[in-house]
Amino acid sequence: MKYKNHTNCRVCNSSNLTKYLDLGMLPLSNNLAESATDPIHNEKYPLQVMLCEDCGLSQLSVVINPEILFSHYVYRSSISQGYITHCREMAIDLKQKYNLTEKSFVIDIAGNDGALLKEFKDEIGCMVLNVDPALNLYQICEDKGVRMFCKFWGLDAATHIALNWHQKADIITATNVFAHVDDVREFIQAVKFVLKPDGKLILEFPYLIDFIENKEFDTIYFEHLSYFSIGPLRRLCNSLGLEVESVSHQDIHGGSVRVTIGNGKADLSVGEYLVRELMYQDIGVYNEFAKEVKLTIAEFAYKISLLKNVGGFAASAKGNTLLNCSGVKLDYIIDQTPEKIGKFSPGIRTQIVDINHILYDEPDYLVILSWNFADEIISKCRAAGFTGKFIIPIPTFKIIE
């Protein structure tokens, strides 16, 4: 089975799901091809977002088989220095809040190439374990001194850890993964199974209100099954005997939240977020968002059509959503992930090249497809010798000299 239709809310099980955005038939955003004619480009699925009008969770209308999406994963966290800095600050913050020592045990769910846990090891020296299904990242992770258990997170993985590590976790982190999870109930149950009674689950995910207000439709792709706010998350946690204890906003990835979950009490921050989210229970807000998204896509396609010699930077999932929705084909896309170089983006079929490509084939414009790291990308390109202009596509089309 490649995919299944999603008919009941994954938080509250309601069938009261209303579609508010349809981006059409799109390819898998990380499904890179070996050539411009590779038949892999023919695999497309409906990319639609629905609102549960009972609990307020936004979610996709289909679920792609996770084995297809994640068993060989071409995204690498450590490519971005901005993200590494974010990880270091997070490790320091949690060390101070929870008095972590070299005896503490930290698990990172879907920790990719070990970027976050490496900072925990460097800053604290504690025991760490990355639970991630991507076999191609195993050696990269281990080379950082981060032990990796190649498995999807769930009760089976938690049971294995409990039996083989003989120790429960002080902290379990899950950054930019909770939105990827279909069975969120089992995800939380597995955390409870292997977390100490006074331990904490730390989630980070892109925040629904930033997503809506900044028109971040390009963060919609098949890996992102849900678009969370605090209300639905708290409802889920409460149903499983846990509490959302605190919420803080993070600037990374276009606006994210860091949520602490455990057996304690909710602080004032939780109530503040819940009050702010009251207006986002109205389907009218989402219908208006969908109209703005369509205008943004049309504006991007039109303004790019007026330009010549346009390349892109970052063969990212969000970039592939933008390019496929708009039908824009760039001259090439620069990326710094070794596994992506020489391949072709899905759907639009644009070749992915190394940053040195601009030395002998400099475009007049570079579209920053990972706009959440725009400052870092601009700095890298200038250092590499790029003298042209940059385009920021989201939330509005902007040219930077």
Please state the separation of Cα 175 from the chain's center in Å. 8
The secondary structure of 91-153 as a DSSP string is HHHHHHHHT--TT-EEEEET-TTTHHHHHHHHHT--EEEEE---GGGHHHHHHTT--EE-S-S
> What is the predicted pLDDT for the residue at 41?
53
CATH of the domain at 294: 3.40.50.720
For 34, other C-beta atoms within 10 Å of its C-beta total 10
| Helices 184-194 and 155-165, axial angle in degrees (round to 10) | 10
Pair 12, 235: CB distance under 8 Å: yes
| Residue 299 falls inside a structural domain | yes
- Going by the DSSP 8-state scheme, the letter that residue 222 receives in this structure is T
Which amino acid belongs to residue 99? N
Over the chain (401 residues), the average pLDDT of each successive run of 10 is 92 98 93 76 87 97 87 64 87 95 96 91 94 88 92 95 90 95 97 97 96 95 96 98 96 87 97 95 96 97 97 94 96 92 91 94 96 92 95 95 89
- Does residue 2 fall inside a structural domain? no
Q: What are phi and psi of 158, to 5 degrees?
A: -65, -40
42 lies in some domain: no
pTM of the full structure: 0.92
Q: Which of 124, 226, 132 has the alpha carbon at shortest distance from 183?
A: 226
> For the stretch 123-145, what's the b/e string if a residue is b when 16 or more beta carbons lie within 10 angstroms of its beta carbon?
bbebbbbbbbbbeebbebbeebe
The rounded distance, in Å, linking the Cα atoms of 75 and 266 is 35
Tell me which residue of 158, 150, 212, 154 sits closest to 181, measured CA to CA.
154
Structural element, H or E, at residue 275 = helix 268-276
Instruction: Dihedral sign for Cα 110, 337, 253, 91, please.
Output: positive
Task: Fill in the amino acid letter for 148.
Answer: M
Full 3-state SS string of 390-401: EEECCCCCEEEC
Residue 36's pLDDT is 78
pLDDT of residue 348: 87
Check residue 30 and give its pLDDT: 83
- Give dist(CA 105, CA 169) in Å, integer: 5
Quote the pLDDT of residue 305: 97
**What is the distance between the alpha carbons of residues 108 and 195, in angstroms, rounded to a whole number?**
12
Task: Quote the pLDDT of residue 76.
Answer: 67
Instruction: Quote the number of domains for the chain.
Output: 1
387 domain residue, yes or no: yes
Instruction: Quote the domain boundaries for residue 391.
Output: 286-400
pLDDT of residue 42: 65
Quote the CA–CA distance of 345 and 327 in Å, as a whole number: 13
Residue 368, in any domain of the structure = yes
Look at residue 72 in the predicted model and tell me its pLDDT.
59
Sheet holding 17-27, edge to edge: 17-27, 44-52, 58-60, 226-227
What single-letter DSSP state applies at residue 340?
T
Read off the DSSP letter of residue 339. T
* Residue range 198-217, pLDDT digits in tens: 999 999 999 999 999 999 99
| Length of the chain, in residues | 401
CB 378 within 8 A of CB 314: no
Q: What is the CA radius of gyration of the chain?
A: 21
Helix (H, G, I), strand (E, B) or coil at 256: strand
3-state secondary structure of 245: strand
CA-CA distance, 68 to 28, in Å (whole number)? Answer: 9
H or E element in which residue 283 lies: helix 283-305
270 domain residue, yes or no? no
Residue-level pLDDT at 138: 86
Residue 275 counted as domain residue: no
Residue 378 lies in a domain: yes
